[in-house]
A and B are shown apart, each in its own frame.
Chain A
Amino acid sequence: MFAFLANPDRFMAFSRWAAPILGVAAALLLGAGLYFTFAAPEDYQQFDTVRIMFIHVPAAWLGMFAYLCLGVASLLAFVFRHALADAAAKAAAPLGAAFTALALITGSLWGRPMWGTWWTWDARLTSVLVLFLFYLGYMALRAAIDDEVKAGRAAAILALVGLVNLPVIHFSVVWWNSLHQGSSTFGAERGDTLPAIYLTPLALMGLGYLALFGALWLVRIRAEVWRRRATVLALRAAEG
C-alpha cells in the first residue's frame, strides 16, 4: 500500500476519490454519533456532562493517532528522503494540533464541573499538553527555516523525538496516581468497560473523527503536492 501510494501521480489519482468518500463517511458517522450522544441517558454520577465524553475522548484518540501518522511519515521522509512522505507529515501537523487542542479544551470544560478545576498538572493532562507543544514546535520549526529540505529534515527529527510521548500519554494513568480516569474502552479491566448505551455513540464518534481526519489529511497532502508543483513552475518561469 505504502509502495503503491508513494508515487505522487498514483496518490493523486487515489486521493481524488478517497477523500470525498471519507468525507461522506465522516458526515454519516458523526450524524449517527450525535444522535446516539443525545439519545443516551445521563450518567448517575456525571449527569449530563457525560455527553462531553463523546466529543472529548475521540479528540484525544485522534490527537495521538495523527501524531503517530506524523511520526511514521517523518521517519519515511527522513530515511528515504521521500517528498510525498514529507508532504504527508507536514499536512498531518495542523490537524493533529487541532484535535489535541479540542481534547484539552473539552477536557477542561468537563473537568470544571466534575473535578472542581479547569486544569491540574496531572500526568495525563500534562503529557497531552506536551503533545500539543510538540505539534506547535514542529510547525514553528518548519516555518522558521527557509530551505524546505532542511526544514523538513529538522522537523522530522523533532517529530521522531516526540513519538516517545505517545506511550507516556497512554500509560500515564497506570504509571502515576492520576485524577484522570483509567481506560474504560481499549484495555479496560473487566467491569470498568463502558456499557453499550455509552460505547455505541463513543465508537461512532471515534470512527467519525477518524474518517474526518482521513479525508482532511488527504485534501491537505494534495494541496501540498500542488503547492510544490506551483513552486517549481514559478521557478521555471522566473528562470525564463
Chain B
Amino acid sequence: MDFDAGKYALYVWSAFGAVAVVFAWMIADSLARARRWRREADPRFRGDDRE
C-alpha cells in the first residue's frame, strides 16, 4: 500500500476528499429523506420497516 503521493499529494488527496464528502452527502440525504417520509406516510411507524 502506497499512501505517499509525493508532490502530487494535494491533488490526489483533495480528489479523494471530494469523493468522501459527496458520498457522505448522498448517503445521509437519501437515508434522511426516506426516514422522514416513511414517518409522515405512517405516523404509527416507529423503527419497523413494514410498508
Residues of chain A touching chain B, judged by Cβ–Cβ distance below 8 Å, are: 9, 12-13, 16, 35, 38-39, 41-42, 47-49, 51-52, 55-56, 59, 94-95, 98, 101-102, 105-106, 109-110, 112-113, 212, 216, 219-220, 222-224, 226-227, 229-230, 233
B17 CB, nearest partner CB in chain A, Å: 10
The reply to whether B25 and A222 form a contact with Cβ atoms under 8 Å apart is no
Task: Given the known inter-chain contacts A39-B1, A216-B27, please indicate yes or no for A49 contacting B38, CB distance below 8 A.
Answer: no
Distance between Cα atoms of A95 and B14 in the complex (Å):
21
Residues of A within 8 A of B40 (CB): 226-227, 230, 233
For B18-51 the 0/1 string (1 means CB < 8 A from A) is 1100110111011101101110111000000101
B41: chain A residues at CB < 8 Å are 226-227, 229-230, 233
Residue of A nearest to B18 (CB): A105
Tell me if A52 and B12 are in contact (CB < 8 A): yes
Known: A42-B2, A59-B19, A226-B41. 6 other contacts (CB 8 A): A49-B8, A98-B25, A216-B30, A219-B34, A223-B30, A226-B42
Count A-B contacts at CB 8 Å. Answer: 100
Contact between chains at B22 and A102 (CB < 8 Å): yes
Q: Is the CB of A220 within 8 A of B34?
A: yes
Q: What are the residues of chain B within 8 A of A223 when measuring CB–CB?
A: 30, 33-34, 36-38
Count residues on chain B whose CB falls below 8 Å from chain A CBs.
33
State the CA gap A106–B3 with chains docked (Å): 18
On whether the beta carbons of A226 and B34 are closer than 8 Å, the reply is yes
Question: 9 nearest interchain CB pairs?
Answer: A230-B40, A226-B37, A48-B5, A223-B33, A226-B41, A223-B34, A229-B41, A230-B41, A227-B37
Known contacts A42-B2, A216-B26; is-contact A106 B18 (Cβ 8 Å): yes
A105 vs B26: C-alpha distance in the bound complex, in angstroms? 16
Interface-centre pick from B40, B42, B51 (highest chain A CB count, 10 A): B51
Query: Measured between alpha carbons, how far is A42 from B6 in the docked complex, in Å?
Result: 11
Q: How near does chain A come to B15, taking the closest CB pair, in angstroms?
A: 4
Complex Cα gap A230–B9 (Å) = 48
Query: Which residue of B12, B19, B30, B51 contacts A48 across the interface (Cβ within 8 Å)?
Result: B12
In the bound complex, CA of A230 to CA of B34 (Å) = 12
* Contact present for B8 and A101 (CB under 8 Å): no
Closest to A17 in B: B49
Residues of A within 8 A of B3 (CB): 38
Residues of A within 8 A of B9 (CB): 48
